[in-house]
Amino acid sequence: MTVRVDDSPQRLRRRPIRGTGGRTAALFLTPFFLVFLVAMIAPVIYAIGLSLFAERRSGLGFGGAEKVFVGLGNYADVLASETFVAGFGRLALYCVLYVPTLLCVALALALLLDAAVAKARRLFQVLLFLPHAVPGVIAALIWAYLYTPGVSPIVSALSSGGIQIDFLSVHMVLPSMVNVAVWEWAGYNVIILFTALQAVPREVLEAARVDGAGEIRAALAIKAPLIGPALGVALLFTIIGSLQLFTEPKILSTATTAVTSTWVPNMWAYDAAFNRNNLPQAAAASIVLALLAGALSWVVSHLTSKGGTR
Amino acid sequence: MSLRRAPLTAAAFLAAGALLAGCTSGSAATPAASEPTGEITFWSSLSGMADVAAAFNESQDDITVDFEEIPNGANGGYTKLSAAIDSGTGPDVVGVEYYRLPGFAASGQVVPVDDLVPAATLDEYSDQVRGLVTFGDETYGMPYDAPPLVMWYRQDVLDAAGVDVPTTWDEFEAAARAVRKADPDAYLTSFFTNEPPLAPLAWQAGASWFGVDGDHWKVSIDDEASTKVADYWQKLVDEDLVKEQVGFSDEWNADLNEGVVNGWVGGSWSASGLMTRTEAAGQKGKWIAAVPPSWDGEPSGALSGGTSFAVTKNSENPAAAAAFLEFLTTDPAAVEARGDVGTAYLAYPGLNEVAEKVAPTGYFGNDIYQVFDEASAQVAPGWAWGPDYDITNTALVDAVTGAPTLGAALEKTQGATVDGLEQLGLDVSE
């Protein structure tokens, strides 16, 4: 693209217009970048700065604190922390459970929706999206209630049916959390995938049908592969979202001690900042998490875009 | 932490409020050389404090107090407070629990009151309580209440099991066994995994988790006495004699109402929370208070929670703040104004007669303030809270769930506390 711009005299003539476009674009983009600068870039720079220092009290600690430069010392402390690393272990396990579950559920629902009759389509679209309209905190609160033995109708119904499950036990709490997140995010991803399905050329589907493919065969062999790029986007959003996992465990930790105060990296950072009053460490942990999210999303977008063009 | 109880029950707030409920008194009438005047702000998570502020405003014309209720510590109140003070928008006067006060004092967020309040007033407090607000040679707050560790039992359940109120921990175990035997669904009490009462129980057993040794902190969370307490409760849990559960949860409320849990290792502040939770289940007159069982026959006690009021570094009118502070913590009128929102056991001498009159004592099967007096008189000396108890508390709660035994949990907590304090640059010895 850049080569063409350079060697075309016609384009040169158009430059004043392009310049105007640039100014107009700048005008429209400025508000965004101003807010972006204040709300994103500045805090990140501040956090990076913060993470290089440490507050050192001395003796009994009543003489006030002194700020000292420690370089990457906080990062070393954070990465050496058993609980921080364990948090990443839990996060990985969560992703392994959550990402495939969510995408499979969303894909299945989107395909069903695409196959449904037009009238039912709109209704189900709304119904599926409804849980996503519930704020995450509220969703987690409701589910925490539904999981708590003694007050939950679900638990008591199951136990009267002879099934004893403690959704909040040490081993069950992670799947319980995945359930909350899937409930919340499935509808959103269904919309993304369904929109992509709408763009699948109808003549391709007709050709498949002429060749004798049934609805299921058409869905799996034609539609699913054709919405690969949309699946890639959904995958990217889901993974980045998973890394930010905070609300669900934070709320569930009020209902069970199986969720510790440093259960996932984000909670570790929160605990460092507000329980241990160690802001520099919290900043370092956040930066580590952000770097990881950046690296992971690069890998995912790289892989899916390659897969898409092939 | 801040979100923890919010979804679960409003009753938890009431209980927390009750914790703070009984203790206001002050001597606003103490005139300084020149009467302080002006407007001050006051933050507290204690219920009924709005009424106290209003009473103070009515009692004089010089100072106006603006009250704002903040969440309790478990719901993020201290996070909010700390952030507000650092950004210069904090209140003049604020309620801080004893365990949290050293942290605020060390960071300079609250200021000494020695020059603001008459020394004679401060000298009225008992040494034990005074010690909880004194760091170095300075007093960082005015003690409000001094709630003793108190056991709560269902008298009718003890009767049905054929046991008396336990006076030793051996008898407590026997009573727990008898209750299980009399009704397989019932437990004598529960063990809170989210707020394990190991600190007051260890204190009662003679432990002292923190101490000052020369110019460094001595941390001994897994000392002999504490380990004895942990092993004892571990045994009760292992043999299914107490119910392990999340305290202040919906599940716990349901268990209290249905007679599954029939006791509470609480404090004097527990009374109003207990009443709120069990009144609808028709348990009036069935609950009694008792002093904690002893280990060796010698009565011993501890404090369970408690709040002090302090002046923050943001205060531009510390003289007015101090005048209100005195009213709040030492004046009987403040106790009366707060009313029956709780059963506070106040730190300043002479206030508990007033507190007893306004507290909802009629709900209980025995004279609870007499029990409070007794429990308070036997509080073991020498306990101090560490310079950043949040580190310890978080580690303890995590370890109680994660460690195989409570004894191991104490060891883990000890390690985490020492590491955490050393990372802050403090000098620590074990």
Of A255, A21, A26, A51, give the one whose Cα is nearest residue A141: A255
- Across B173-200, average pLDDT: 95
CB contact under 8 A, A255 and B401: no
Of B333, B329, B355, B336, give the one whose Cα is nearest residue B344: B355
Q: Which residues of A touch B393 (CB under 8 A)?
A: 275
Q: Mind listing the pLDDT tens digit of every residue in chain A (310 residues)? A: 444 444 444 444 445 555 567 788 888 889 999 999 999 999 999 999 999 998 887 777 777 678 889 999 999 989 998 889 999 999 999 999 999 999 999 999 998 888 877 778 888 888 989 999 999 899 999 999 999 887 889 988 998 988 888 898 888 999 999 999 999 999 999 999 999 998 888 888 889 889 888 888 888 888 888 898 899 889 988 988 898 899 999 999 888 888 888 899 999 999 888 777 788 999 999 999 999 988 988 888 888 776 544 4
- Kind of pairing, strands B63-69 and B93-97? unpaired
Give chain B's length: 430
How far is C-alpha B97 from the chain's CA centre?
7
Could you read off the pLDDT of B100-124 as tens digits, one per residue?
Answer: 999 899 888 999 999 999 999 999 9
Which residue shows structure tokens 């219920």?
A: B47
% of chain B surpassing 90 pLDDT: 70
CB contact under 8 A, B1 and A64: no
How far is C-alpha A69 from the chain's CA centre?
34
| pLDDT number for residue A93 | 95
* Helix count and strand count (H, E) for chain B: 18, 16
DSSP B165: P
Euclidean distance between CA atoms A189 and A186, whole angstroms: 5
Query: Touching check for B64 and chain A: CB below 8 Å?
Result: no
Q: Which alpha helices (H) appear in B245-388, and where do they start and end?
A: 250-257, 270-278, 318-330, 332-338, 352-358, 368-377
Could you read off the pLDDT of B387-424 as tens digits, one per residue?
Answer: 888 889 888 988 998 889 999 999 999 999 998 888 88
The answer to whether residue B178 scores a pLDDT higher than 60 is yes
Question: Which helix H or strand E contains A2, and what residues bound it?
Answer: helix A2-7
- What tokens appear for B234 in the block? 């571990």
Give strand pairing partners of A55. Answer: A67
Of B49, B14, B45, give the one whose Cα is nearest residue B274: B14
Using CB atoms, which residue from B217, B246, B397 is nearest to A60? B217
Euclidean distance between CA atoms B193 and A167, whole angstroms: 17
Question: Which helix H or strand E contains B39, and what residues bound it?
Answer: strand B38-44
Euclidean distance between CA atoms B269 and B19, whole angstroms: 4
Of A279, A305, A110, give the one whose Cα is nearest residue A270: A279
B154 CB burial (10 A radius; 0-12, 13-18, 19+): buried
CB contact under 8 A, A151 and B108: no
Q: What share of chain A is helix, strand, coil (3-state, %, to 5)?
A: 75, 5, 20
DSSP states of B68-136 as a string?
Answer: EE---GGGTHHHHHHHHHHTT---SEEEEETTTHHHHHHTTSEE--TTTS-HHHHHTS-HHHHHHHEET
CB contact under 8 A, B390 and A61: no
The answer to whether residue B34 scores a pLDDT higher than 80 is no
**What's the gap in Å between the CA of B198 and the closest CA on chain A?**
16
- What tokens appear for A149 in the block? 């033995």
Which residue shows structure tokens 């009225």?
A: B124
CB contact under 8 A, A60 and B82: no
CB contact under 8 A, B106 and A57: yes
CB-based contacts of A77, cutoff 8 Å, min separation 6: A281, A284, B423
CA geometry: angle A233, A132, A308, nearest 5 deg: 10
Could you read off the pLDDT of A130-187 as tens digits, one per residue?
Answer: 999 999 899 999 999 999 887 889 988 998 988 888 898 888 999 999 999 999 999 9
- C-alpha distances in angstroms, B38 versus A200, B61, B88, B321, B326? 72, 9, 18, 9, 16
Q: Is the torsion defined by CA of A198, A201, A206, A209 positive or negative?
A: negative
**What's the gap in Å between the CA of A3 and the closest CA on chain B?**
53
Q: Which residues of A touch B400 (CB under 8 A)?
A: 257
CB contact under 8 A, B249 and A255: yes
CB contact under 8 A, A271 and B394: yes
Could you read off the pLDDT of B267-292 as tens digits, one per residue?
Answer: 999 998 999 999 999 999 999 999 99
Q: Which residues of B touch A258 (CB under 8 A)?
A: 401
CA geometry: angle A227, A231, A233, nearest 5 deg: 120
For chain A, list residues whose CB is within 8 angstroms of any CB belonging to chain B.
54-62, 64-66, 77, 83, 137, 141, 144-145, 148-151, 170, 250-251, 253-258, 260-262, 271, 274-278, 281
Q: Which alpha helices (H) appear in B166-299, and where do they start and end?
A: 169-182, 198-204, 224-238, 250-257, 270-278
Amino acid at the residue A307: G
ipTM: 0.70
| pLDDT number for residue B32 | 46
| pLDDT number for residue A306 | 63
A237 CB burial (10 A radius; 0-12, 13-18, 19+): middle
Euclidean distance between CA atoms B347 and B145, whole angstroms: 5
Question: Which helix H or strand E contains A110, and what residues bound it?
Answer: helix A82-115
Note the pTM of the prediction, 2 decimals: 0.80
Using CB atoms, which residue from A64, A254, A281 is nearest to B8? A254
Q: Are the C-beta atoms of residues B304 and B129 closer than 8 Å to each other?
A: no
Euclidean distance between CA atoms B338 and B56, whole angstroms: 11
Euclidean distance between CA atoms A219 and A225, whole angstroms: 9
| pLDDT number for residue B336 | 92
How far is C-alpha B75 from the chain's CA centre?
15
**What's the gap in Å between the CA of B343 and the closest CA on chain A?**
26
Euclidean distance between CA atoms B79 and B1, whole angstroms: 10
Q: How confident is the model at residue B234 (pLDDT cuts 50, 70, 90)?
A: very high
Give B146 or B388, the one with higher predicted confidence: B146
How far is C-alpha B113 from the chain's CA centre?
22
Give chain A's length: 310
Using CB atoms and an 8 Å cut-off, which of residues 254-313 of chain B contact chain A?
254-255
- Kind of pairing, strands B93-97 and B307-312? antiparallel
A290 CB burial (10 A radius; 0-12, 13-18, 19+): middle
Q: Which residues of A touch B190 (CB under 8 A)?
A: none
Using CB atoms and an 8 Å cut-off, which of residues 401-420 of chain B contact chain A?
401-402, 420
